[in-house]
Amino acid sequence: MPFTPRTPRVVAARRLQRRREREATRRFLVEGPQAVREALTRPRTVVELFGTPDALDRYADLAAAAAGADVPVSEVTDEALAGLAETVAPQGLVAVCRHLDVPLETALSRRPRLVALLAGIRDPGNAGTVLRTADAAGATVVVFAGDAVDPYNGKCVRSSAGSLFHVDVVRHRDPDAVLVAARAAGLTVLAATGHGEQDLDELADAGRLAVPTAWLFGSEAHGLPRELAEVADAGVRVPLHGQAESLNLAAAAAVCLYASARAQR
């Protein structure tokens, strides 16, 4: 019989909606077929796959891939799945996954050419969108520095649209130490700020974005702390040609990361 909301394994998985439980177990939830598909591409990442009978039939390839990787595949009732999911209209699949954290030193030792540093970003939707954008632009490392959102927050995971499984995810408490390590690894650190002394277009035209670069982004509500922006190699502003006061975080990150991606290619 399918598991119910009271089945112990379902109850244990549902607790992963809380950050404290995610940190204690180093596991998190992934919802929907696309995210599950991406998670299964990383060996030893998926711990268990829950699905309604209808969803396991509809996505038989994912169920088979999980079983082939010795991942338990458990049928659950619609009520149990609704309790595991955090969306209004869940798609019938939820996976329990292991944390993906990579130490900063390990990520930088791979000589990345494009890195996104998220300093103190607290909104999970923004963080997940920037992570997705960084992946699309070819960044291979995304660092959550300082008092940043949990990258395994359900909204952040969904907003990343599977990109969480494509990059090295780093968590580090000290943003200053991250900048020092990035420079030591040969990266130029550019702080994206509306008050930057450098114009993004001018940097691109001068060929200064072709070097290995770490882009530093702050929270949308408060921006980058001044003391952190001053430590960067340069503060860079995105030119505004219309009457808009500013760009939101995700849009600014997309412009900056793609400017570097184009220059590096």
Across the strands, what pairs with 37? none
For the entire predicted model, the pTM comes to: 0.94
Residue type, 99: H
Low-confidence ranges of the chain (pLDDT < 70): none
How many Cβ atoms are within 10 Å of 26's Cβ, its own excluded? Answer: 12
Contact of 219 with 120, CB cutoff 8 Å: yes
Cα separation, 110 vs 74, whole angstroms: 37
Dihedral (CA of 136, 139, 140, 146) sign: negative
104-264 has CATH 3.30.465.10 classification: no
What pLDDT was estimated at residue 138? 98
Q: What is the dihedral of CA 51, 52, 57, 61, to 10 degrees?
A: -10
> For residue 20, what pLDDT is reported?
97
The pLDDT, as a whole number, for residue 265 is 92
Q: Note the pLDDT of residue 216.
A: 97
Instruction: Give the Å distances, CA to CA, from 16 to 7, 83, 112.
Output: 15, 11, 32
pLDDT score, position 223: 77
In degrees and rounded to multiples of 5, residue 52 shows phi and psi of -70, 155
- Which of 177, 168, 108, 160 is CA-nearest to residue 140? 168
Residue range(s) occupied by CATH 3.30.1330.30 in the chain: 8-98
State which fold the 8-98 domain adopts. 60s Ribosomal Protein L30; Chain: A; (3.30.1330)
Residues of the chain with CATH 3.40.1280.10: 104-264
Phi, psi of 223, deg, nearest 5: 70, -165
With 0-12 / 13-18 / 19 or more C-beta atoms within 10 angstroms meaning exposed / middle / buried, residue 207 is: exposed
d(CA 106, CA 181): 11
d(CA 155, CA 121): 14
At residue 13, the pLDDT reads 98
